[in-house]
Amino acid sequence: MSNLSSKPYQIGYALTPKKEQTFIVPSLLSHASQNGVVLTKIDPTKPLIQQGPFDCILHKLYDSDWKQNLQDFASRNPNIPIIASPESIDILRNRISMLETVSKLKINNTGVPKQITITEVTGLENLKLNFPLIAKPLDADGSETSHKLHLIFDKDGLNNLTAPFVLQEFVNHGGVVFKVYVAGKYFRCVKRKSLPDISEEKLVNLKGSLPFSQASNLAAAGGGEGCKFEKTEMPPESLVKELVEGLKEELRLNLFNFDVIRDGKNKENYLVIDINYFPGYAKMPDFESVITDFLRDVVHKDINCGDN
């Protein structure tokens, strides 16, 4: 708890309207205020140096004008933390560089699915990947287009895709994905239902491609194997912690989440399939206190925010 007789910390935030609506909610504003943290909206079209004063900047904007605005502010205020540096965020906006960070960690029993980048839709005969595949737009910028993923069952399913995109081997994982939320010193792993397993026998009867938005119909159509969600064990906490600490250091980020699946062919192995900067924390239990504590830690310099 803060000493409320002292001056509250001023946290300036710059978010998209959608992000602001889901994150800057009354319960967060109230809890933060009661604990000496005031969240103040930034006008990204105006110079940051004319706004504030701020003890910390929290943002999730990507355009070049905003990056220049941040750079100008940081050059004049080198001791004020910025969550997070655009350079670190950009690593997660590309689906190849995103997962390359996992491979650099070299943590036992962890890895990423086999994947390649397709820059033009020609010469796809010798992919050296095994079907089924997942096709993902190369850019993971949070736009509606970036969320348009497809399951690809055969070569015909590649015909209507728009380059550039990433092709990733689909790994059977029991129909369960583990989501790990990270906010500074805090992390939490939860499980969610995912795409059902696809056996080689069932794959013979699956043709073309299927948007992820329709993939929930896969099991009903006889293409997927059932999910034993309630009986699925969580990953070892020691392994999750090792991934969290490794990714924090490699990415120089403190506010992100990542998705992990258990390899259906080897239950000891876990694969990271996605990493997101500043995800939907409001879905997480007690997120108000987690975020408030995180922001206080950042201002206190108890957390290293990369270059700041």
Residue 282 placed within a domain: no
Determine whether the annotation assigns residue 175 to a binding site: yes
Determine whether the annotation assigns residue 269 to a binding site: no
Task: Domain count for the chain, please give it.
Answer: 2
Distance, CA of 156 to CA of 301 (rounded, Å): 54
- Average pLDDT, stretch 255-280? 96
Residue 183 placed within a domain: yes
Determine whether the annotation assigns residue 38 to a binding site: no
Determine whether the annotation assigns residue 262 to a binding site: no
In this structure, what token pair is assigned to residue 28? 């967060």
Report pLDDT digits (tens) over 135-194.
999 998 777 778 889 999 998 898 888 889 999 999 999 999 999 999 999 999 999 998
Q: Whose structure tokens read 């005969």? A: 125
Report pLDDT digits (tens) over 115-139.
999 887 766 667 889 999 999 999 9
Do 173 and 80 lie in one domain? The reply is no
Q: What's the confidence (pLDDT) of residue 204?
A: 86
Do 165 and 239 lie in one domain? The reply is yes
Determine whether the annotation assigns residue 223 to a binding site: no
Do 95 and 136 lie in one domain? The reply is yes
Determine whether the annotation assigns residue 209 to a binding site: no
Determine whether the annotation assigns residue 31 to a binding site: no
Do 155 and 239 lie in one domain? The reply is yes
Q: What's the confidence (pLDDT) of residue 308?
A: 45
Do 66 and 210 lie in one domain? The reply is no
Determine whether the annotation assigns residue 177 to a binding site: yes
Determine whether the annotation assigns residue 106 to a binding site: no
Determine whether the annotation assigns residue 169 to a binding site: yes
Do 239 and 136 lie in one domain? The reply is yes
Do 142 and 166 lie in one domain? The reply is yes
Examine the pLDDT at 3 and tell me if it is beyond 70: no
Do 80 and 113 lie in one domain? The reply is no
Residue 159 placed within a domain: yes
Determine whether the annotation assigns residue 59 to a binding site: no
Do 233 and 295 lie in one domain? The reply is no
Burial of 243 (0-12, 13-18, 19+ CB in 10 A): buried
Distance, CA of 126 to CA of 159 (rounded, Å): 14
Determine whether the annotation assigns residue 197 to a binding site: no
Determine whether the annotation assigns residue 147 to a binding site: yes
Determine whether the annotation assigns residue 217 to a binding site: no
Spatial CB neighbours of 283, under 8 Å, sequence gap ≥ 6: none
Distance, CA of 33 to CA of 56 (rounded, Å): 15
Residue 252 placed within a domain: yes
Do 106 and 123 lie in one domain? The reply is yes
**Which of the pair, 41 or 285, is modelled with greater confidence?**
41
Give the domain range for residue 51.
Answer: 9-84+287-305
Do 109 and 249 lie in one domain? The reply is yes
Domain CATH for 66: 3.40.50.11370
**Which of the pair, 6 or 201, is modelled with greater confidence?**
201
Residue 143 placed within a domain: yes
Residue pair 55/305 in contact (Cβ under 8 Å)? The answer is no
Determine whether the annotation assigns residue 150 to a binding site: no
Distance, CA of 91 to CA of 181 (rounded, Å): 18
Residue 4 placed within a domain: no
Residue 78 placed within a domain: yes
Do 117 and 210 lie in one domain? The reply is yes
Domain CATH for 213: 3.30.470.20
Determine whether the annotation assigns residue 5 to a binding site: no
